[in-house]
Structure 1
Amino acid sequence: MKERRKHELADTAQQIVGGFLLSGPFVVTQEVWMLAQNMTMFHSLFLVSAIMAIGYGGLYGADNDRNPRYEAAVAGVPVRFISVIIVAFGSVGVLAFSITAPDLFLTDVSRPERHFVTFRALSVGAVFSVVGAVTTDSLF
């Protein structure tokens, strides 16, 4: 039986670099925030599902050397996959809030609704962020 491969801090650092690299342009684009205002809960759930599929497929489908059964896991979910999803949403979230994007782009949205629109905008950015995170994790 193979020994489980540990997920190290360097792996997460690589994911963070890729996640920030590809998500930046989408956080500061007004069109993304306008799209988010028109999205429904269905669209949000669909995007989150797509992000997870891209993340899992990129980590384990595109890399023949990696097998989720032989990686460190939490409740059966590979730590590397959990890390990619956190990085995908986290990098977009950090960028959005550090440059105050919700305050800039959502001035005409009520305070309670602003949280939902922000999550939807983060989901749009996370699609690109997860691609960057998976790519850098696989390359390095």
Structure 2
Amino acid sequence: MKQRQKHKLADTAQQIVGGFLLAGPFVVTQEVWLLAQNMTMFHSVFLVGAIMAIGYGGLYGADNDRDPRTEAAFFGIPVRFISVMFVAFGSVGTLAFAITAPDLFLEELPPRTTLLVTFRALSVAAVFSVVGAVTTDSLF
């Protein structure tokens, strides 16, 4: 039986670089925030599922040298995959907060609606962030 591969801080650092790199242009784009205003809960859940599929496929389907069964796991879920999900959503959330995007793009909406639309916009931008995170993780 193979020994489980540990997930290192350097792996997460690589994911963060890729996640932020591709998330930036989408967090600051008004069209993303307009799309988010038009989305429903179904669209958000669908996007989160797509993000998870892209993340898992990018980590384990595109890289033949990586096996999720031999990696460190938390409740059976590979730590590398968990890290990619945190990076994908965390990078877009951090950028949106840091540049006050919801205040700019959603200034006329009530606070509760602003929060819901913000989560939807983050799910749109996270599609691109997860691509950057898994790409840098796989390349380096």
Alpha-carbon separation, structure 1, partners of 2:137 and 2:86:
14
1:1-140 to 2 correspondence within 5 Å?
1-140=1-140
Please provide the CA RMSD for this pair: 0.3
Alpha-carbon separation, structure 2, partners of 1:91 and 1:61:
23
SS of the equivalent of 1:7 reads coil
Offset of 1:108 from its aligned partner? 1.6
Unmatched 5+ stretches in structure 1? none
Structure 1 stretch 11-20 or stretch 104-113: which is displaced more? Answer: 104-113
Q: Tell me the amino acid that sits aligned with residue 138 of structure 1.
A: S
Runs of 4+ with >3 A deviation: none
Provide the aligned length of Structure 1 versus Structure 2: 140
Superposed CA deviations along residues 8-37 of structure 1, whole A, max 9, x for unmatched, are 000000000000000000000000000000
Q: Tell me the amino acid that sits aligned with residue 131 of structure 1.
A: V
Q: Tell me the amino acid that sits aligned with residue 28 of structure 1.
A: V
Q: Tell me the amino acid that sits aligned with residue 93 of structure 1.
A: G
Superposed CA deviations along residues 62-107 of structure 1, whole A, max 9, x for unmatched, are 0000000000000000000000000000000000000000000001
SS of the equivalent of 1:4 reads coil
Unmatched 5+ stretches in structure 2? none
